[in-house]
Structure 1
Amino acid sequence: MSSIKNEDVLVVLSGGQDSTTCLFWAKQNFRNVTAIGFDYGQRHKLELECAKRICEEYDVNYEILDMTLLNKLTSNSLTRSDIEVKAAKKGDSTPNSFVEGRNLVFLNFAAIFAKTHNIRHIVTGVSQSDFSGYPDCRDTFIKSLNVTLNLAMNYEFVIHTPLMWLDKCDTWKLSDDLGVFDIIKNKTLTCYNGIVGDGCGTCPSCLLRAKGLEEFYKKYRQR
């Protein structure tokens, strides 16, 4: 990582556990960190406020882009209050919380923002090890998109995915190694029902987060 210590980076930051862990990973590994978030009409929109507060506290410039067009193009439980968030059942291709094209759209706009600000490096918190059935969190997708963005803009982007091969347990471990475990635990919002910290405890996102935390305590340290 020493070769990028003197370079700038753009972090795709939602305010959840994964992207906020990536924010602090980026702060450790790059010179200047800028973050970008997206308002797409998500039911847990409070996550953007969590991201904003963390960025203000740690002196990171944070820009939020209006992407509410996604709400009009796709029907899913994250952008429709009348659709209950449910975990994927056997035989389902994706969970009903999957927002079609979300990471594709977000990373395209992040790349445009990055180029106009002379930034080559982009960090996103996607994980194939913990991707919950979302096809746009896979390593092959990120690598393919990286090539496409480079060709489309004639610019040498590098998309970094620090969590790609980490499950939730090891994502908690990374936050601990970075010295930000308490920040991630208490100040981020992963809950689909919009409850900061430990969340509602019943939605698929909360269950995954809690399971990983319990495994972290058992594997790495006592409470």
Structure 2
Amino acid sequence: MSKSKAVVVFSGGQDSTTCLFWAKKRYDEVIAVSFDYGQKHIKELDCAKKICKDHFIEHHILDMSLLNQLAPNSLTRADMEVEKEAKDGELPNSFVEGRNMLFFTFVAIFAKGRGIKDIITGVSQSDFSGYPDCRDIFVKSLNVSLNLAMDYEFIISTPLMWIDKEATWKMAYELGVLDLVKNETLTCYNGIVGDGCGECPSCKLRQKGYDNFIRNNK
């Protein structure tokens, strides 16, 4: 019998780490793929490497430095501070134009080369920073486009799409990796592992979800 295999888009943050262990429960073999795009919080790749090494998961880091040149944003430019709140009617300056579209496309090419059809990503439409490339309609649309472009039947799964951060913490708890996700992942836009800086939008979203999880699951 052939083994079930999946590739996880893995940043080393809360969501993708939760999805990584979600995938490990469901597939015989899981491969993690991360991206170096010149992000200021590049320590997330160190977290990704450590988690994969500690749990014997094959891990690859792909060079996406071109994205830094094409899409100026506060996650890659030292002279841009991360906005604590987006201006009315505008995307936050932490949005990296085309990031998920490119990441999923390159992961799909990587997966097909290894005969793998299942791709796992931690994007969520329920509890996010307003990024359009985290929406369900985008993922489904790109899934169709990738299938047509490569004449291959990819399946992009989004375990977190319809749940908020509180439920994501609960999922990590149920998977037995709550402490790992809390202490060893990097979600902070300012590059601080674990609980982060506490000030950037990502940290606030993460902490709010954790506080709600603890309060409702005592």
TM-score (norm 1): 0.95
What's 1:157 paired with? 154
Structure 1 residue 74 corresponds to structure 2 residue 71: yes
- Counterpart in 2 of 1:98? 95
Q: 1:8 aligns with which of 5, 12, 19?
A: 5
Structure 1 stretches of at least 4 aligned residues deviating more than 4 Å after TM superposition? none
Aligned residue runs from structure 1 range 128-147, under 5 A: 128-147=125-144
Offset at 1:7? 1.1
How do 1:1-223 and structure 2 match up within 5 A?
A: 6-221=3-218
My pick for the range that moved more, 155-164 or 91-100, is 91-100
Letter in 2 for 1:217: I
Report the CA distance between 1:57 and its aligned residue. 0.6
Q: Which amino acid aligns with 1:138?
A: R
1:130, distance to aligned residue in structure 2 (A): 1.3
Q: How far did 1:93 drift?
A: 2.4
What fraction of aligned residue pairs are identical, expressed as a percent?
A: 63
Displacement, 1:88?
3.5
Stretches of structure 2 that go unaligned for 5 or more consecutive residues are: none
Q: Judge conservation of contact 2:185–2:194 (CA < 8 Å) in 1.
A: yes
The amino acid of 1:103's aligned partner reads N
**Alpha-carbon deviations, 1:23-76, whole Å to 9, x = none?**
000000111000000000000000011010000010100000000101000111
Secondary structure class of the residue paired with 2:62: strand
For the residue of structure 1 that corresponds to 2:79, the secondary structure is coil
Listed as ranges, the gaps of 5+ residues in structure 1 are none
Q: CA RMSD in A?
A: 1.1
Query: In the aligned structure 2, how far is the partner of 1:8 from the partner of 1:137?
Result: 24
TM-score (norm 2): 0.97
SS of 2:61's equivalent?
Answer: strand
SS of residue in 2 equivalent to 1:11:
strand
* Counterparts of 1:162 and 1:88, CA distance in 2: 27
